[in-house]
């Protein structure tokens, strides 16, 4: 369990450091992400991005624990 948490922490650190590069790839603006804009508000929910990241992280964690 400790090994999994350390690897997860390192992955989050790497994602944070690589965020400018990740942003240029279009991650966070995928089809399926919900964006509602009104006259005085804006609401953005990255549904498809969240699902994609969840699948990728689940596979990585599964491979580590295997």
Angle at which helices 47-65 and 2-17 pack, to 10 degrees? Answer: 140
Instruction: Name 28's Cβ contacts closer than 8 Å, sequence gap at least 6.
Output: 46, 49
Reported as a single tens digit per residue, the pLDDT across 9-18 is 998 898 888 8
Global confidence as pTM: 0.60
Reported as a single tens digit per residue, the pLDDT across 47-61 is 998 898 899 889 988
- Cβ neighbours, 10 Å, residue 19: 12
pLDDT at 20 over 90: no
The domains of the chain are located at: 2-65
The answer to whether 20 and 37 have CB atoms below 8 angstroms apart is no
């Amino acid at each position: 369990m400790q090994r999994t948490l350390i690897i997860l922490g390192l992955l989050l650190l790497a994602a944070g450091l690589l965020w400018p590069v990740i942003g240029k790839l279009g991650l966070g603006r995928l089809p399926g992400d919900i964006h509602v804009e009104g006259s005085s508000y804006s609401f953005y929910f990255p549904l498809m991005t969240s699902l994609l990241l969840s699948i990728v992280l689940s596979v990585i964690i599964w491979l580590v624990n295997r």
